[in-house]
Structure 1
Amino acid sequence: MNEHIPIDFPRGIKLTVKREDLLHPHISGNKFRKLKYNILEAQKLGKKAVLTFGGAYSNHIAATAAAGKEYGFATIGVIRGEELVNKIGDNPTLTFAQQCGMMLKFVTRDEYRLKSDSQFVKSLETEFGDFYLVPEGGTNELAVKGCEEILVAEDEKFTHIACSVGTGGTISGLIKSAQPQQKVLGFPALKGEGLADDICKFAPPGNWELITAYHFGGYGKITEELIVFINDFYDNTGIPLDPVYTGKLFFGVIDLIHNGHFADNANILLIHTGGLQGITGMNAELKRKKLPIIKT
């Protein structure tokens, strides 16, 4: 569903939101796209369980747990941070995942860094038995294939496609399906180098660019300025944004518009990748810090 933003922008620039967050109430946005072909592959291989990795408030963990419940396979979530083992009830994401039937295994941050190590994965197979492995964030070739389906024929009129970036799977799919005359802009939600190299594993160089100035301090970091923007945007449009991904994307695009980054009459499509499940946990943290909470 494409939704025009009812805000006047200078120089004839138009913004439209593709509401991927409305695809499914729990397997939301780009997670729906990333899991689609992975679920089909797991079923094809006769796998009864899916194992994946994520942090305390991971959209991917929540979506994988919901997919397991809906499509009838067991799910195992390897969670970063062993200190969380006795705090599940205080964490809405982990509580939801557990309620969907996901088995949670908490590991230290050092262990978590081994998530791509074959020996570590083998130890997980010894512990849990046979499973279908989905990487952290859900990004692999099948995930990129799913994300290629985000853009459809009616989207060919846009001059720019903009999305938030985590592990690079979503933008890779957009790059592969965008038209040659379109520019794909990625707004990383985290600091750190190497993201462009990760994207190049799945998508060719060319009609895309990473805009790295709007991570607000890194993954999961948020400022009062960003909260105010998200709430004002919701008041003006009725579109909720999450603070980790889409809030930073929308802030960045609108800031670039006002700073003359886009040509006159640019027609920009923003991909709303979901992630709204994380707002409850973020609001609890904001209350503890005596900051404004995010509206939904």
Structure 2
Amino acid sequence: MNKNNLLSQLTITTSSAESIIQPNWGAKYGITLAVKRDDLLHPVISGNKWRKLKHALTPAIAAKTQHIISFGGGFSNHLHALGYCCHQLNIQFTAIIRGDYSHNPSPMLQDLICWKTNILYVDRKTYQQRGEPDYLKRLLQLYPDALIIPEGGSQQQALQGVEEIIQELQVQYDYILAPVASGGTLAGLIKGATQNVKHHSCQILGIGVLKGEGYLEQLVRDLLVEDDNNKNWQINHNYHFGGYAKSNHELKEFCDDFYQQTEIKIEPVYSGKLFFALRDLINNGYFPQNSRILALHTGGLQGAR
């Protein structure tokens, strides 16, 4: 497939609608609850993964990049989306994976193997160096001329794609909620709302999906740089369920019930924690009466496979 044709095909699908949902919670508080269905952008490269990758891949294609490197866990939606893109674009892809899944590859990793990805399993100590200049320099010595995309695709180029979510909104909201792991999506929403007069008063609430109080906030601030003038954002750390990709029976049952009520598929790593938190916050009176709330479905169902 021609590279430009692929990008054109995906670009056509990068606008998603806001859908009002009516689960059996929230109505008695007069709350209007909508979901931005970014999970429907593309069958493989859904949600914030494509939002964060599109402005990184476009210049990479123009520069005739032959090799891309990135990082993630064994159920990474980011690596799955990027691996698919690289396979379709005929770009060599190296995925550096936290932990050794070589004897029991996850469905996501099985897809990467089918897409001819070069997979490197590393221990947690090595993986922790993924953002350190010396480690990145060593990677580039091993793979000259490769393009390194950070974990989760979270970098300055990612914010541009996420900002487009705000530009697409049809109505004004009091709150926008999104899951937070690498910070790029929340930073893009904050920046987009800050620069859009129609939405600058909207509160941006992130739901941390891993143990990272302080750490996640710093990731967001680092991406915003000088643009962190909007104080209308925060991250709630009460719904990580023990850490990244951690869950329990209650959360998994909630994901199933939510699908039965709304016909919207969610999973326990990202979107499930977001909507669980939303229900709990509504039922505990966190949001004022008659609030208009938008939940961003960031797509990616690797955690449910």
- Do they superpose with TM above 0.5? yes
> Shift of the alpha carbon at 1:152?
2.8
> Shift of the alpha carbon at 1:153?
4.7
SS at match of 1:84: coil
**Cα contact 2:76–2:302 (8 A) shared by 1:** no
Deviations 1:207-251 (A, max 9, x none): 111111111111111011111111111001100111111101101
Q: Counterparts of 1:277 and 1:109 in 2: how far apart (Å)?
A: 21
The aligned residue for residue 289 of structure 1 is none
Deviates most, 110-119 or 239-248? 110-119
**Cα contact 1:241–1:247 (8 A) shared by 2:** yes
Q: Counterparts of 2:73 and 2:233 in 1: how far apart (Å)?
A: 28
Q: Counterparts of 2:259 and 2:272 in 1: how far apart (Å)?
A: 10
**Cα contact 1:93–1:278 (8 A) shared by 2:** no
SS at match of 1:17: strand
The aligned residue for residue 256 of structure 1 is 281
> Shift of the alpha carbon at 1:123?
2.6
Unaligned runs of 5+ in 2: 1-16, 194-198
Give 1:87's aligned amino acid.
Answer: N
Which structure 2 residues correspond to residues 1-296 of structure 1 after superposition, within 5 A? 1-7=17-23, 9-81=27-99, 83-88=100-105, 91-178=106-193, 179-192=199-212, 193-203=214-224, 204=228, 205-280=230-305
**Cα contact 1:51–1:134 (8 A) shared by 2:** yes
Give 1:147's aligned amino acid.
Answer: V
> Shift of the alpha carbon at 1:121?
2.1
Taking structure 2 as the reference length, what is the TM-score of the superposition?
A: 0.87
Give 1:84's aligned amino acid.
Answer: Y
Deviations 1:39-93 (A, max 9, x none): 0121233321110011111111111101112233221101112x323333xx111
Unaligned runs of 5+ in 1: 281-296
Q: Superposition RMSD on alpha carbons, in Å?
A: 1.5
Taking structure 1 as the reference length, what is the TM-score of the superposition?
A: 0.89
SS at match of 1:151: helix
Which 4+ stretches in 1 moved above 3 angstroms? 153-156
Residue identity (%) = 38
Cα 1:231–1:167 change in 2 (3 A) is same
Deviations 1:89-129 (A, max 9, x none): xx111110121221111122221112122332233223333
Q: Counterparts of 2:122 and 2:52 in 1: how far apart (Å)?
A: 24
**Cα contact 2:67–2:145 (8 A) shared by 1:** yes
> Shift of the alpha carbon at 1:4?
1.0
Q: Counterparts of 1:273 and 1:144 in 2: how far apart (Å)?
A: 14
